[in-house]
């Protein structure tokens, strides 16, 4: 027999044997599951199809919240009677698989990820199953609740839905709307933000007015919601303001990166459930572009509908950021009820530059005088606040190189960095440049030139 035929024959035999093992494992698993389900509900195996089941597809944050809430909910009016993982059944009882998640700053929880839970609640018996959705790459989970009686199942679903909403683990937290990841909040304060007079105070007051007086708005039939766009050159504190606002407010804060805008209906629904909420839409110009020049009109329509559609957004403040206001769809910019105010943050003027440099150097040992600060402020006319911060950071790095034990920032350290940062803005290379390699000439070219 040909060696290749022998190899193919052996491979086919191995595949067939493996298939038989899988089929037997599958049969064993389900026979065990059917046996335990029928025993738990006190029915024959042939009656399992008469059980009432509710199915829900959970994604990311919904999955996490459902599992965080499930066990406390059951133990509130009942008890867990048994738990097993049938997906990994091999003849012995396998414990459920749990997943560790962060539910708050420094707070962890182990939630069920793959399990079948037998429990009793309000005098009735139920089975809950959770597991990753097969053939899904979006982190989806299938969630089942089973009971003998449809009325009892409806009562459980209604109570558990209300419990999940009331005890949502992200209520009052600051998190990424796509992943549910808790956002770290640095020790920034309103004093760190150097803006033109009145802008930060006005924005802060408008946000607080919505949250502190929502009942008054509702009483007079007004909407307790606001929308703002923060526009302007990058590096002037738009993101810093959002960090400070998230840290200072007790409201829920949901950060929505532009690549998550396609989930706006879900994220606005989540914001309503967790209200009062600040919903932050980053770089809206990358998504909410002018419809005349965009292929995302459908998704843009969804966003506008969520901002000002049939469903009310009570106690919700939506803040969008953009570096290119001219690219944002006009129906977003010019429509009160969607975005009511546009705050354009300019590059700092001379007085603001003095304030920023003073603020940055005030945190480190220095020998910088007021005259030095004014000279540097003159040098950086037309530059963003980010350049001034980098000036101080890089200058202090120079000071550390000179004296690591007791570094002191001096004027010369900052002067050294001025030209480098100016070249950076103008995209001019700094330092050594590598010359273009000289192309080798062929012997034929050399002979042709000699003949000439």
pLDDT, tens digit (0-9, with 9 covering 90-100), for 288-341: 665 555 556 777 888 888 988 778 889 999 999 999 998 888 888 877 888 988
SS3 assignment, position 166: helix
Token digits of residue 231: 């526009």
For the domain bounded by 23-167, which CATH number is listed?
A: 3.30.310
Task: From first to last of the 452 residues of the chain, give the pLDDT tens digit.
Answer: 567 776 777 788 777 777 666 655 555 555 778 888 999 999 988 899 999 999 999 988 999 999 999 999 999 999 999 998 877 555 566 889 999 999 988 899 999 999 999 999 999 999 999 999 988 777 899 999 999 999 999 999 999 999 999 999 999 999 999 888 898 887 788 888 888 878 888 988 999 999 999 889 888 888 888 999 999 989 999 988 998 999 989 999 999 988 888 788 899 999 999 999 999 999 888 876 655 555 567 778 888 889 887 788 899 999 999 999 988 888 888 778 889 889 999 999 999 999 999 999 998 999 999 999 999 999 999 999 999 999 999 999 999 999 999 999 999 999 989 888 877 665 444 443 334 444 444 444 444 444 53
Q: What are the tens digits of pLDDT across the range 359-396?
A: 999 989 999 999 999 999 999 999 999 999 999 999 99
Token digits of residue 220: 């007079």
Percent of the chain with pLDDT over 90: 51
414 contacts 395 by C-beta, under 8 angstroms:
yes
368: left (phi over 0), alpha (psi -120 to 50) or beta: beta
The CB density around residue 390, as the number of other CB atoms within 10 Å, is 18
SS3 assignment, position 132: strand
Pairing mode of beta strands 78-84, 107-121: antiparallel
Token digits of residue 144: 């089942």
247 contacts 324 by C-beta, under 8 angstroms:
no
Tokens 């133990």 label which residue? 75
**DSSP run (H or E) holding 377:** helix 370-379
143 contacts 129 by C-beta, under 8 angstroms:
yes
Strand order in the sheet with 252-256: 174-176, 252-256, 277-281, 316-322, 225-232, 341-345
Half-sphere exposure of 103 (CA within 13 A, CB side): 18
In whole angstroms, what is the distance from residue 441 CA to residue 385 CA?
A: 51
The CB density around residue 293, as the number of other CB atoms within 10 Å, is 8
Report the DSSP beta bridge partners of residue 318. Answer: 227, 279
SS3 assignment, position 256: strand
pTM above 0.85, yes or no: no
Query: What average pLDDT does the structure give for the chain?
Result: 85
In whole angstroms, what is the distance from residue 63 CA to residue 114 CA?
A: 12
Token digits of residue 351: 């007085």
Nearest to 387 by CA among 410, 419, 412, 362: 419
In whole angstroms, what is the distance from residue 125 CA to residue 75 CA?
A: 13
Q: Domain boundaries in the chain? A: 23-167, 190-345, 350-425
Half-sphere exposure of 196 (CA within 13 A, CB side): 9
CATH topology identical between 23-167 and 350-425: no
| Chain centre distance of CA 275 | 18
Class of domain 350-425: mainly alpha
Choosing among 3.40.50.1820, 3.30.200.20, 3.40.50.2300, 3.40.50.300, the CATH entry for 190-345 is 3.40.50.300
In whole angstroms, what is the distance from residue 271 CA to residue 249 CA?
A: 15
């Amino acid at each position: 027999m040909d060696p290749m035929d022998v190899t193919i024959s052996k491979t086919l035999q191995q595949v067939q044997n493996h298939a038989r093992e899988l089929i037997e494992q599958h049969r064993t698993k389900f026979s065990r599951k059917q046996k335990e389900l029928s025993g738990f509900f006190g029915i024959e195996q042939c009656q399992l199809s008469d059980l009432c089941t509710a199915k829900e597809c959970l994604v990311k944050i919904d999955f996490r919240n459902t599992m965080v809430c499930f066990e406390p909910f059951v133990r509130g009016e009942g008890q867990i009677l048994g738990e097993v993982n049938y997906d990994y059944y091999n003849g012995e009882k396998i414990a459920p698989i749990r997943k560790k998640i962060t539910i708050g700053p420094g707070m962890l929880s182990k939630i069920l990820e793959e399990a079948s839970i037998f429990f009793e609640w309000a005098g009735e018996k139920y089975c809950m199953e959770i597991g990753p959705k097969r053939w899904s790459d979006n982190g989806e989970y299938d969630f089942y609740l089973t009971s003998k009686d449809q009325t009892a199942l409806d009562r459980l679903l209604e109570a558990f839905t209300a419990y999940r909403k009331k005890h949502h683990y992200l209520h009052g937290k600051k998190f990424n709307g796509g992943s549910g990841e808790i956002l770290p909040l640095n020790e920034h304060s309103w004093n760190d933000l150097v803006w033109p007079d009145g802008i930060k105070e006005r924005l802060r007051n408008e946000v607080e007015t919505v949250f502190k007086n929502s009942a008054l708005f509702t009483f007079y039939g007004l909407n307790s919601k606001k929308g703002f766009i923060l526009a302007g050159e990058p590096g002037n504190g738009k993101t810093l303001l959002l960090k400070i606002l998230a840290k200072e407010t007790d409201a829920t804060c949901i950060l929505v990166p532009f690549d998550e805008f396609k989930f706006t209906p879900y994220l606005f629904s989540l914001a309503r459930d967790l209200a009062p909420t600040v919903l932050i839409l980053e770089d809206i110009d990358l998504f909410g572009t002018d419809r005349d020049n965009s292929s995302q009109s459908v998704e843009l329509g969804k966003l506008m509908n969520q901002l000002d559609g049939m469903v009310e957004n009570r106690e919700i403040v939506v803040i969008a950021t953009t570096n290119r206001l001219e690219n944002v769809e006009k129906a977003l910019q010019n429509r009160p009820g969607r975005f009511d105010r546009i705050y354009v943050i300019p590059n700092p003027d001379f007085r603001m530059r003095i304030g920023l440099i003073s603020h940055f150097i005030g945190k480190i040992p220095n020998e910088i005088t007021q005259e030095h600060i004014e000279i540097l402020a003159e040098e950086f006319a037309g530059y963003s606040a980010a350049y001034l911060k980098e000036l101080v950071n890089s200058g202090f790095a120079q000071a550390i190189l000179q004296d690591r034990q007791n570094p002191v920032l001096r004027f010369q350290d900052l002067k050294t960095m001025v030209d480098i940062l100016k070249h950076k803005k103008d995209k001019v290379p700094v330092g050594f440049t590598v010359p273009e390699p000289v192309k080798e000439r062929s012997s034929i070219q050399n002979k042709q030139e000699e003949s000439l």
